[in-house]
Amino acid sequence: MALKRMVLEIGMGSDIRGAEPTKAAVRALRDALWHNSLSVAAALGLDTDSMQVEVTIGVPHPERVDKEAVLAVLPHGSGTVSVVDGGLEIATDDGTGSTLIANAAAVVWLEIA
């Protein structure tokens, strides 16, 4: 059996006032996952927890993202998280704060013959 890429889900999340990278990353992954209901595992006779999810987050200040908090969003299966520099940071008018935008890509893999 071999791992096969079955699904690519894409999302965006932001932290408008707090500029917290983890909050934006979690919201981005939720956005990617919460707009669908995958039935591919069941259609193949597999348990949904057999899904392996590869998450990539693009956000400013990637070193500040709590990867475990991002993984906790996954409702099924197991996952890995990679965080890279990306997204967008928009300063407030007075320069005392910013808004962060994160992007998420979740690739779902299943082991099939």
Kindly state the percentage of the chain with pLDDT values over 90: 89
Whether residue 1 has pLDDT greater than 80: no
Instruction: Give the contacts of 102 (CB within 8 A, at least 6 positions apart).
Output: 12, 13, 14, 21, 24, 25, 27, 28, 57, 58, 59, 86, 87
Q: Quickly state the pLDDT bin for 113 (edges 50, 70, 90).
A: confident
Q: Report the pLDDT averaged over residues 96-113.
A: 95
Residue ranges of domains in the chain, CATH in brackets = 2-112 (3.30.1330.20)
pTM of the model: 0.94
Which of these, 89, 55, 58, lies nearest to 72 by C-alpha position?
55
Q: How far apart are CA 100 and CA 55, in angstroms?
A: 19
Q: How many of the other CB atoms lie within 10 Å of CB of 106?
A: 22
